[in-house]
Amino acid sequence: MLPLSLLNAAQNKPMLVELKNGETFNGHLVNCDNFMNITLREVYQTNTEGDRFWKLKECYIRGSTIKYLRVPDTLLDAVKEEQNRARDAGRGARGAFVSGGNRGRGAPSRGGRGGRGGPMRGGRGRGRGA
């Protein structure tokens, strides 16, 4: 799973961002880009020493100044599930018979990996590794 996929999935989720200078920002992710530039809303900022606090309505952080981001544990499963769905959809779109998004709704064999799409088995059509 790519770090940027995780970040993209974190939109509207709470996160903690520490900068290289030790300042931290707690807030909800509004937006992000491929450089990991981010905007947060409803932010609590602390200084490097951790003894002063500021509340900001919104802030922009340049990706290159970030040390790390801490995101909710639940995001991991959300991203994995989303990737499985995207992969299954990709397979479905290339196989005949199935059309569009409402394929397989309520079908008994939902959920498990593999099995569906018969002739399309094999190396093609899987998501990227990692």
Contact residues toward another protein (CB under 8 A) are: 1-7, 20, 36, 63-64, 66-73, 75-76, 129-130
Q: How far is CA 52 from the centre of its chain?
A: 31
Pick 5 or 26: Cβ nearer another protein: 5
Report the nearest approach of another protein to the CB of residue 114 (Å): 19
Tell whether the torsion through CA atoms of 106, 107, 113 and 118 is positive or negative. Answer: negative
Report the nearest approach of another protein to the CB of residue 91 (Å): 22
Report the nearest approach of another protein to the CB of residue 102 (Å): 31
